[in-house]
Amino acid sequence: MPYLGAHMSISGGMEKAFYRGKEAGCEVIQIFTHNTGSWYMKPLSQEQIDAFTKAREETGISPVAVHVGYLINIASPDDKIWKSSVSSLLKEVERAVMLNIPYVVMHPGSHKGAGEAYGIKRISEGLKRVIAKTEGARILLETTAGQGTSIGYRFEHLADIIDMTGSRDRLGICLDTCHIFAAGYDFRTKEAYDAVMEKLERSIGLDYLFLFHVNDSKKALGSRVDRHMHIGEGMIGETGFAHLLKDHRFRDHAFIIETPKQKDEKGKDYDIINLERLRNIIRREE
């Protein structure tokens, strides 16, 4: 059975994410390790690491992934931004290793008008630098919706980045359901789902798929607009998720929700609701 969880806030301390996750019914969690609105990352203290490890042991929840800050853009044609992005990504990976978190999830970046081929080359150059200076954590390139000049809305983009970077043992893919749907990959029927997975296998290989972000989409298929929605309340619908959740090839994978942090009319946390919906889908399909 897949491992289900959510992106959790680290407000008040990184260790608090575990206890919030336990309340929501998480088996796994994804976190930021710092304030993502700033380039600055205060070095982790041993006290922080110890508190994080203790909370992990107390809750039994696995911190499966660190999501990097949104300022990072290693596709940027601006040398100053590119160098800052590479430096920040390096620190993100180092922090994940210190916290014993296996995956570092990143959006590939935006080429800002310089062209997709240029952006892909720029990304691979940045990844090479980071990988050469780190060990341990695997960097996962997240599929994108294709807003603006973002890279990663086609599987071929990610395949090219991995091929150009070369370090296949340190790279992988995080598939976001909302993003690929907005990018034009329809998986709402079994036939459509199988076709998408065949494209992914052919372009990258399913062996490089390590993590899922499970979000419904507020916007239509092919809209190239990234707007997450609660499970079953968007344009994908529960049936679309059933094909993915019952795929035996991913039964040992982690599925993380990044749905809006809201409460329903009765005051129930939507993280709890969305995880319950996913579990109900799995039970119905077994």
Are the CB atoms for 103 and 63 separated by under 8 Å? no
Helices (H), 204-286: 237-245, 270-285
Structure tokens at 229: 């929605």
Q: What is the pLDDT of residue 63?
A: 86
DSSP sequence for 76-90: -S-HHHHHHHHHHHH
Give tens-digit pLDDT for 203-214.
999 999 999 999
55: Cβ contacts below 8 Å, ≥ 6 apart: 15, 16, 17, 18, 19
What CATH architecture does domain 3-285 belong to?
A: Alpha-Beta Barrel (3.20)
**pLDDT for position 286:** 53
The 8-class DSSP code of residue 39 comes to: S
pLDDT recorded at residue 285 = 54
Question: Residues 213, 176: contact at Cβ < 8 Å?
Answer: yes
Q: What residue type is assigned to position 240 of the chain?
A: G
Mean confidence (pLDDT) of the chain = 97
pLDDT digits (tens, 9 = 90+) for 180-202: 999 999 999 999 999 999 999 99
pLDDT digits (tens, 9 = 90+) for 54-86: 999 999 999 889 999 999 999 999 999 999 999
Is-above-0.85 flag for pTM?
yes
Q: Are 216 and 234 in contact (CB under 8 A)?
A: yes
With left for phi above 0 and alpha for psi between -120 and 50, is residue 212 left, alpha or beta? beta
Cα-Cα-Cα-Cα torsion 229, 196, 194, 27, nearest 10 degrees, comes to: -40
Note the helical H segments in the chain: 16-24, 46-59, 79-98, 116-132, 155-165, 177-182, 190-203, 237-245, 270-285
Burial 157-171 (b: 16+ CB within 10 A, else e): bbbbbbeebeeeebb
Q: d(Cα 240, Cα 58) in Å, to the nearest integer?
A: 35
pLDDT 10s digits, 81-105: 999 999 999 999 999 999 999 999 9
114-144 pLDDT tens trace: 999 999 999 999 999 999 999 999 999 999 9
In Å, the largest CA–CA distance within the chain is 52
